[in-house]
Homo-oligomer: A and B are copies of this chain.
Amino acid sequence: MSWEDNVRKMVPYVAGEQPKSKDVIKLNTNECPYPPAPAVAKLAQEMDTGLFRLYPDTDSTSLTNALSEYYGVKPGQVFVGVGSDDVLSLCFLTFFNSDKPILFPDVTYSFYDVWADLYKIPYKTVPLKDDWSIDVEGFKQENGGVIFPNPNAPTGLFSSLEKVEEIIKANPDVVVIVDEAYIDFGGESALPLLEKYENLLIVQTFSKSRAMAGLRIGFCMGNEKIIKYLNDVKFSVNSYTMNRPAQTLGVLAVKDDAYFKEITGKVMATREWTKKELTRLGFTFPDSKANFIFASHESVPAKDIFNYLRGHNIYVRFWDKPRINNHLRITIGTDNQMRTLIAALEAYLG
């Protein structure tokens, strides 16, 4: 026997590449192409670093209050974590604790099955329909919990609130998590449904629409009972997850609503322009409401395009996985970056 026998051995999730070079046009991890709200830069310079010697507020009260105010829910309905991945991981651990399989789409955020494996949660995938839309009927079978992104990733397709509510309504006995990482680019949040369904949990992030991926801030909203359960598990893992810079700077990213609307608006406008250009070049894609486009070319394999772009310092995301291995997920960058991308594609495909 060896100490290695009892190690939990995992095949981890692989995040999109983070190139060290600054010459790269980075359209592979759905970051925001614009900097965070101006007040963030200002406060960062004025932070009282003397306070760094003290533990941060365990409850991240200022950040939780800012979110509660912004979204019109009670502070006890908000939970913050180290990016939405931290929040989601804790949700899997807390709420998906049944012997029955949890359900999520077959083509979706590829971290879901990793968390399920990690925490030994049985799961079953519900295939997307041929048009990449979520199959609502598939979520009406017996299960131990439900999770799906809206808009879905990597397809970018938004499911109407009617569809979302149909899934929640069919699953009153389990927790239903709607992962709204990309909701701020034209989708409609399930937030109004919180009043009707106490088993609903909505997860969002500062990493995309609030341009704060580097600060690691995610959050979820639900009724106070569900948030209490989540906090009990969180405080059983790590009392202090959010550090002082995340807590103080995060508040400012929430407060500047005009800037938030400005940058998400710009991303959406650039996305619509990019859609037209991609169509012109022979790409097809589901109609994205996210800050990325999931595109497939009519004749050239996705992998070849991926390699070509990479050779020209343009990084997009490609997965060599069944069903999606002829697609690229292209993050929406600045107008300039997208013009460079389109020009490169034109040179290659034309």
Give residues in A with beta carbon < 8 Å to B: 1-15, 18, 26, 29, 31-36, 40-41, 44-47, 49-58, 82-83, 85-86, 89, 93-98, 114-115, 117-118, 144-145, 172-175, 198-199, 207, 211-216, 225, 229, 231-246, 249
Contacts and interface: CB of A to CB of B under 8 A. Distances in A.
B212 A53 contact: yes
A97 B54 contact: no
Contacts of A215: 52, 243-245
B44 A238 contact: no
Q: What are the 10 A-B residue pairs with the smallest beta carbon separation, nearest first?
A: A12-B235, A245-B245, A15-B239, A214-B244, A41-B49, A6-B98, A3-B199, A53-B211, A52-B214, A216-B243
Given A3-B175, A41-B50, 20 more contacts: A2-B173, A3-B173, A6-B95, A6-B97, A7-B97, A7-B229, A8-B93, A8-B233, A10-B235, A13-B235, A35-B50, A51-B214, A52-B211, A52-B212, A54-B213, A55-B213, A56-B214, A82-B238, A83-B240, A243-B243
19 contacts: A3-B173, A7-B97, A11-B236, A12-B232, A13-B236, A14-B235, A15-B235, A15-B240, A34-B53, A35-B50, A36-B52, A44-B44, A52-B215, A83-B238, A86-B241, A117-B236, A118-B237, A214-B243, A215-B245
